[in-house]
């Protein structure tokens, strides 16, 4: 099993007694934690879009909208082809993605704000262009009783219509099934009704 955008290895850790595990992520800091969590797994630091391997994998995962952090949709297509090339004959690729309509819906919500350990967390999603969005993430760390220090990060995501993602996957995979957040399969003639949901894809060559 291989996970693209594996982060700190939380998902792979669930399968450590079932598969030989591989993870790909661009962040060395994330991979450091993943290696500590699953020392028997093999982790690779690189941009997942360009991953290729002589090994064949039975299961490939790309979850928690990792694909949305790839900012050019043409690179999504390159990635889908590279994943297909690394799967064995009966291999399965499982992907989730935010759609444009879902992210637009989130931009209309109030900012998320919470307190933790006497510090504060703020997050608001803003739309930058038609299909590009930016999460404005701020942490206010308490220095003393009256002083807070701000740490800020902007995290970009690119999205497409769920039907567009489906079409790109169908160019590479013979079987592509789509599910909603309730694990219900979505028929292709119902796609428009679910554009405001997160989409989950199960693909086979």
Check: CB of residue 195 under 8 Å from CB of residue 99.
Answer: yes
- Domain span at residue 130 reads 101-158
How confident is the model over 105-150, as pLDDT tens digits?
999 999 999 999 999 999 999 999 999 999 999 999 999 989 999 9
Instruction: Clarify whether residues 187 and 146 are in a common domain.
Output: no
Q: For residues 97 and 4, give the distance between their C-alpha atoms in angstroms, rounded to a whole number.
A: 13
How do residues 139-156 score in pLDDT, each as one tens digit? 999 999 899 999 999 999
pLDDT of 142: 95
20/36 same-domain check? yes
Q: Give the pLDDT confidence of 26-73 residue by residue, as tens digits.
A: 999 999 999 999 999 999 999 999 999 999 999 999 999 999 999 999
Distances (CA, A) of 19 to 39, 70, 90, 128, 202: 14, 27, 15, 40, 19
CATH of the domain at 28: 3.40.50.150
Average pLDDT over every residue of 161-177: 97
**CB of 126 closer than 8 Å to CB of 188:** no
> Mean pLDDT for the chain?
96
Give residue 202's pLDDT.
98
Same domain, 132 and 190: no
Measured CA to CA, the distance from residue 135 to residue 172 in angstroms comes to 31
Do 42 and 71 reside in the same domain of the chain? yes
Question: Are 12 and 1 contacting, i.e. CB atoms less than 8 angstroms apart?
Answer: yes
- Kindly state whether residues 45 and 21 are assigned to the same domain: yes
To which H or E segment does residue 43 belong?
A: strand 42-45
The 10 Å CB-count burial string (b at 16+, else e) for 76-111 is beebbebbbebbeeebbbebbbbbbbbbbebeeeee
pLDDT of residue 192: 93
- 174 and 95 share a domain? yes
């Amino acid at each position: 099993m291989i996970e693209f955008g594996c982060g700190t290895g939380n998902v792979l850790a669930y399968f450590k007694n079932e598969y030989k595990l591989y993870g790909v992520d661009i962040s060395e800091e994330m991979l450091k934690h993943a290696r500590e969590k699953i020392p028997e797994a093999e982790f690779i630091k690189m941009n997942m879009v360009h991953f290729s391997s002589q090994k064949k994998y039975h299961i490939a995962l790309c979850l928690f909208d990792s694909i949305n952090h790839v900012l050019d949709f043409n690179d999504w297509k390159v990635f889908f082809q590279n994943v297909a090339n690394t799967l064995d004959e009966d291999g399965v690729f499982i992907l989730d993605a935010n759609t444009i309509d879902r992210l637009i819906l989130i931009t209309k919500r109030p900012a998320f704000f919470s307190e933790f350990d006497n510090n504060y967390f703020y997050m608001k999603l803003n739309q930058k262009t038609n299909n590009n969005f930016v999460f404005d993430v701020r942490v206010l760390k308490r220095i003393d009783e009256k002083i807070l220090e701000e740490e800020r990060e902007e995290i970009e995501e690119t999205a497409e219509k769920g039907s567009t993602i489906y079409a790109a996957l169908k160019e590479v995979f013979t079987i592509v099934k789509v599910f909603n957040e309730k694990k219900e399969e979505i028929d292709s003639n119902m796609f428009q009704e679910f554009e405001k949901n997160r989409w989950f894809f199960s693909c086979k060559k």
